[in-house]
Amino acid sequence: MSATTAGRGAPHHVGHLDEVTEHEPATRVDVPAPGGGEAVLVLEDGRAFTGRAYGATGTTVGEAVFCTAMTGYQETLTDPSYHRQVVVMTAPHVGNTGVNDEDDESGRIWVSGFVVRDPARRPSSWRSRRSLDEELAAQDVVGISGVDTRALTRHLRERGAMRVGVFSGDALREPTTGRRLETSELLVRVLDAPAMRGADLAGEVTTPEPYLVEAEGEPRTGADGRPLTVVALDLGIKSRTPWHLARRGVRTHVLPATSSTEDVLALQPHGVFYSNGPGDPAAAEHEVGVLRDVLAHRLPFFGICYGNQLLGRALGLGTYKLTYGHRGVNQPVIDTATGSVEITAHNHGFAVDAPIGEEFPTDFGRAEVSHWCLNDRVVEGLRCLDTPAFSVQYHPEAAAGPHDAGYLFDRFCDLMAAPRTTPDTPSPSAPSRTTEENA
């Protein structure tokens, strides 16, 4: 991706309301909408949308996906699972709270491009340090604003996620003559982009070196008297995940996706965790092989999102690409053990192919679907019945929200502290779940 960038601007300072008296009526100040010149979005089926440059100018290509979250765009942008994707925000107003230095889920923005309808003219939050437009430009992220995102989302919902390109600035013109390029010429660049199916991307987003996140406060101990220790394979991990474990007294070794079984076992963990991440799970042969070894050693295992898909493949199940995926913080999921419904955060374009409502055999004993989506019956969780392993397709780390699924970290900690044959299955008569994150 090539782009022209701008430096980070200083935040705007707005006077307090009590500075305006009845003798000095407030004066409305019209701030120009952010964005540069013309920009064009071209889908691989030839449909095009015009708008204004937003963020960096230049060219970017990726898979077009839509996110239904109405908040949390900063966490979305910095989620490594969005690597090589151009994210369309369905909420019409984006950028209202600017960008701060606390809510990033990784060290950079990972989306390939960003599409919004009405960008905020200026941020309005005491936590904001700069505008979203400035942050996108500073990190070379090409975006487009002024797009009819409702029409674009409906198109993707009906036709499915597909490759897309966003072009602005010099990318819209022929270099030597300055001639404005036709949509058909821009489409050629889109069709040259790699497809998401078959892509093995965890190695492109993982940490280059192992690192340790220590427990907060008094460490929790396992049955062997040692402080509870987790090995987390970083397939695109969000910073909020080891934070949740640390708050529960667990120390977490985060390892690169290329780590071997020997690397994992050398740390003598009480449990193994597989994170979220981008790409096609069918291409992750190395990570699946390591997970099969973990299951064979009967180490407690917990996987989320991509980790759920890899557990499915380790158990011998298939995976498939969804038509347009689940992305947002408002997805309803039912727990088959309790019948309770959780509103959950999602970001996935692939799913596990498993029977709902019945046990099925695997190389590691029996297993079952533990959760499924109420919108389309997509498998949202797996539970092994003869092995200490479970997973969910959604994001219990809840960055950004909601916090309905935070109890899953407690379930993992309990499983490590007192290993049993299978993860705890709550009674259908159990009281409603509450988590400390809701406080």
Contact 383, 224 (CB under 8 A): no
Q: At 281, which CATH number? A: 3.40.50.880
pLDDT in tens, 310-348: 999 999 999 999 999 999 988 999 999 999 999 999 999
Whether residue 209 sits in one domain with residue 74: no
- Which residue range forms the structural domain that includes residue 215? 202-438
Contact 170, 255 (CB under 8 A): no
**Distance (Å, rounded) from C-alpha 394 to C-alpha 407?**
13
Contact 58, 142 (CB under 8 A): yes
Residue 380 covered by a domain: yes
Residue 135 — pLDDT band, cuts 50, 70, 90? very high
pLDDT in tens, 151-186: 999 999 999 999 999 999 999 999 999 999 999 999
User: Is 81 part of any known ligand binding site?
Assistant: yes
Q: Return the higher-pLDDT residue of 374 and 18.
A: 374
Whether residue 60 sits in one domain with residue 141: yes
Model confidence at 95: pLDDT above 60: yes
Whose CA is closest to 86, among 72, 102, 66, 106? 66
Among residues 158, 191, 224, the one where a domain terminates is 191
User: Is 309 part of any known ligand binding site?
Assistant: yes
Residue 405 — pLDDT band, cuts 50, 70, 90? confident
pLDDT in tens, 200-229: 999 999 999 999 999 998 999 999 999 999
User: Is 178 part of any known ligand binding site?
Assistant: no
Q: At 90, which CATH number? A: 3.50.30.20
Whether residue 128 sits in one domain with residue 75: yes
Residue 33 — pLDDT band, cuts 50, 70, 90? low
Among residues 169, 191, 213, the one where a domain terminates is 191
Least confident of 121-135, 268-282, 401-415: 401-415
Whether residue 181 sits in one domain with residue 229: no
H helix or E strand, kind and range, residue 355: none
Whether residue 163 sits in one domain with residue 40: yes
Provide the token pair at 152.
């674009």
pLDDT in tens, 79-92: 999 999 999 999 99
Whether residue 237 sits in one domain with residue 89: no
Among residues 164, 191, 218, the one where a domain terminates is 191
Residue 418 — pLDDT band, cuts 50, 70, 90? confident
Q: What is the mean pLDDT of residues 387-407?
A: 86
Residue 315 covered by a domain: yes
Residue 102 — pLDDT band, cuts 50, 70, 90? very high
Model confidence at 24: pLDDT above 80: no
Give the pLDDT score at 403. 78
Share of the chain above pLDDT 70, in %: 87
Whether residue 208 sits in one domain with residue 185: no
Whether residue 373 sits in one domain with residue 243: yes
Model confidence at 432: pLDDT above 80: no
Residue 389 covered by a domain: yes
| Alpha-carbon dihedral angle through residues 44, 50, 51, 57, given to the nearest 10 degrees | 60
**Average pLDDT of the chain, as a whole number:** 89
Domain total of the chain: 2
Give the pLDDT score at 398. 75
Whose CA is closest to 341, among 309, 307, 372? 372
Whether residue 271 sits in one domain with residue 302: yes
Give the pLDDT score at 424. 60
Give the pLDDT score at 115. 98
Instruction: Write out the catalytic residue numbers.
Output: 305, 395, 397
Residue 90 covered by a domain: yes
Residue 426 — pLDDT band, cuts 50, 70, 90? low
Place of tokens 């601007």: 9
Model confidence at 379: pLDDT above 90: yes
Give the pLDDT score at 36. 72
Model confidence at 394: pLDDT above 80: yes
Residue 24 covered by a domain: no
Whether residue 165 sits in one domain with residue 101: yes
Give the pLDDT score at 400. 74
**Distance (Å, rounded) from C-alpha 244 to C-alpha 395?**
12
Least confident of 256-270, 285-299, 338-352: 338-352
Residue 421 — pLDDT band, cuts 50, 70, 90? low
Residue 25 covered by a domain: no
Using alpha carbons, list the distances in angstroms from residue 267 to 121, 155, 213, 271, 313. Answer: 50, 48, 14, 10, 25
Residue 116 — pLDDT band, cuts 50, 70, 90? very high
Residue 21 covered by a domain: no
Whether residue 209 sits in one domain with residue 139: no
Provide the token pair at 72.
């949390």
Model confidence at 188: pLDDT above 50: yes
Whether residue 221 sits in one domain with residue 171: no
Give the pLDDT score at 397. 85
Contact 101, 362 (CB under 8 A): no
Residue 23 covered by a domain: no
